[in-house]
Chains A and B, each alone.
Chain A
Amino acid sequence: MDIVVCVSQTPDTTTKIQVGEDGKNIDSTGVKFILNPYDEFAVEEGLKLREAHGGEITLLCVGDDSAKENIRLGLAMGADKAILVKDEAKADSFSVASQLADVLKESNLDIVLLGRQSIDYDSAQMGPTLAELLGRPCVSFVTSLEIDGTSVKAERDIEGGKEVVETSLPCVITAQKGLNEPRYPKLPDIMKAKKKPIEEREGTSPAARVETLSLNKPEQKSGGTVLDGTPEGIKELVRLLREEAKVI
């Protein structure tokens, strides 16, 4: 089975994000980047598919040199090789998706796995856009995946329940939390990861179709008010709900 897992890096979840001087991007000085957590589920699912069906796993990333360290983590988990499409700009989701599609159009792949979204911009467009560009079916937010021959059965999270869908290979799947538990890398794989190839290709950096006008931090929450459970406290609560919060 020819498996492709698209990976990207996102700021570490403990980073204190600052808006850059242009007011449109984040200030990345001192920010540590990690492998997008949803992509880890995608890598793990790739490993499980390879265990069950054989084949090879290629990691595919659009990004700059700094992404290599996180690509190596995917290789240490057990992926076989990687392709890095060099594009510093990553103008928008469509721009990235079309560069992924450029690479994948030529190949004979069976399945493309991605995280359901990256946890920085949260747009969740990459999987569906890529599928559209490749002319392949897409199942997003998948929590369980079964493949038999070329038929695919996937469970996905929907509001208040689960949806079970069927499609066939080749297809695009985006991974939701719960799909699996990403493994720790094994010692021999960690040692091999350094030697596995990362092929570099020049990106085409297509122009953005979406323009970011501004980036703002959420408003600071002000501290809460603690009222006690005495009759006066309760009266005060009712007054505040009526006069300040205006909810009753």
Chain B
Amino acid sequence: MIQTLDTDFEGYLTDTSNLDGGYADRVYLPETEEEVGEILRKCSQEKTAVTIAGAGTGLAGGSIPFGGVVLSLAKLNRIIEINKEKGLAIVEAGVVLYNLHREVESQGLLYPPDPTEQGGQLGGNFATNASGARTFKYGPTRDWITGAHVFLSSGEMLALSRNGNRANRYSMSVESVNRTIYDIEIPRYQMPPTSKHSAGYYAKPNMDLLDLFIGSEGTLGVVTRLALKLIRKPERLFSGIVFFESNERIFGFVDEIRERSKKNRISDTPDLNARALEFVDAHALEFIKESYPSIPENANGGAIWFEQEREEASEELLISHWAEVIERYTDLSDDSWFGLSEKDQQRMRTFRHAIPSSAYEFIKAHQVQKFGTDMAVPDNCFHDMYRFYRDELDRSGLRNLTWGHIGNSHLHVNMLPENQTQIAQAQRISDRFVTKALQLGGTVSAEHGVGKIKTKYLKQMYGEEGIEQMRKVKRALDPTAILGRGTMFR
């Protein structure tokens, strides 16, 4: 049954970005794929704008409608199959990540992508190429998608599988299940050489069509069903939140762990090999200190949260390697937190999640805006980038806190301006951050996507020409231009 809610759809007009003013005529909650097709067919005949909504945890305004209708995937939320032998899950797009994790882990399996926010839907994760702490070892959502059902605005469905449809250099054609052929010209821009990237359409010669849809933020089609790769859940972990007295030492530590982990990914010796490497700066620690009184007083360099997979046979050696490095870089090792049990490891993840969520609660409660960054740079430019952030922030006098995926040279710098002057100042600083990241070969968005709030930055990254090439892709797949209006480009 297609349901429309005529009242009470406030929840569909916002996400977790600052963007407000969203409005829509109606919300559709299809319960079957056929209904998705019908809704799209009707909307494209009437040229009604369609904004696709996942769980609304996005940070870039992608799911916020400005007119037209909202198509929510919330009711397409069945886990269809978990196949232990094949290491495969088939899910509907509205399945919430938390539920999938719980289900696969209870069967001794792991779906590696772990965005800090577990309340998003798999379709939302697909559409933003979401990533998380474990992306350091396992890559972003893109690497774990092996197939998808995508409905185009015409109402036709594409059944895509990994490597099922590759481009010939820069051109590609695809046939829908009802045999309409779509010709696509792949954009020519070069994507940045960062280890994470989620801004603009994925584009490479000879690319796989599936990759075009991953990260397309609801502008090319509605994903309704996904096939995901699963692995055996590593038996045990060793994890820690290590506190540091100074910036120099924390970044020395990070450089060493990052390099050794990258090396050991290939060599497979029982040396340290972090699967997650995350940073929390001293301001962010200050922010949550009340709830976590055991944060040491002099953690002026911030903290690193890491996770390492271990096996009984080699764990002693492994932990001694970690201990050696930790003790070399910090005097706070006795005040740091370590965990061998799943419960302690969960406590640390909760701590990590508490940082962004307490920032969101703060901005809601105090009615202030948050200016957050999502840029990643190549690893060898990280220090330059961080110094730039720090100088600008210290000079600005704005309240700020920083956390993020330092293993991937990707931090979220957040400014919380308190009045109009400060808002304008934060806006100017954000612009300078983006310019600097681009100079260093970085991306304007590593994981949250462009949405409606970073369109100007996407243009800055790829230029008008790049944007025009993306528009061309969009015209080929969504000729009535009804999907995700205002997202990615205008």
Contacts and interface: CB of A to CB of B under 8 A. Distances in A.
Chain B binds chain A: yes
Interface of A: 12, 14-16, 30, 32, 34-35, 37, 40, 70, 72-73, 76, 181, 184-188, 190-191, 194
B338 A35 contact: no
Interface of B: 102, 105-108, 240, 294, 316, 319-320, 322-323, 326-327, 333-334, 336-344, 347
A31 B323 CA distance: 31
26 contacts: A12-B342, A14-B105, A14-B106, A16-B106, A32-B342, A34-B341, A34-B343, A35-B341, A37-B343, A72-B340, A76-B340, A181-B294, A184-B344, A184-B347, A185-B338, A185-B340, A186-B338, A187-B240, A187-B323, A187-B326, A187-B334, A187-B338, A188-B334, A190-B319, A191-B323, A194-B316
A184 B319 CA distance: 15
B223 to A, nearest CB: 27
A-B pairs, 3 with minimum CB distance:
A184-B337, A16-B106, A187-B323
B12 to A, nearest CB: 18
Contact of A73 (B323, B336, B340): B340
Contacts of B334: 186-188
A40 B339 CA distance: 13
Given A34-B341, A187-B327, A191-B320, 15 more contacts: A14-B102, A14-B106, A15-B106, A34-B342, A34-B343, A35-B341, A40-B343, A70-B341, A181-B294, A184-B339, A185-B339, A186-B334, A187-B323, A188-B334, A190-B338
Nearest to A189: B338
Contacts of A181: 294
A214 to B, nearest CB: 24
Nearest to B238: A190
B107 A30 contact: yes
Contacts, number: 53
A156 to B, nearest CB: 25
Give the secondary structure class of B's interface.
helix
A33 B333 CA distance: 29
A178 to B, nearest CB: 16
Contacts of A32: 342
Contacts of A16: 106
Contacts of B105: 14
Contacts of B339: 184-185
A228 to B, nearest CB: 9
A32 B236 CA distance: 11
A190 B341 contact: no
Contacts of B342: 12, 32, 34
Contacts of A15: 106
A186 B334 CA distance: 6
B472 to A, nearest CB: 45
A187 B108 contact: no
B107 A191 contact: no
Nearest to A32: B342
A116 B255 CA distance: 46
Contacts of A70: 341
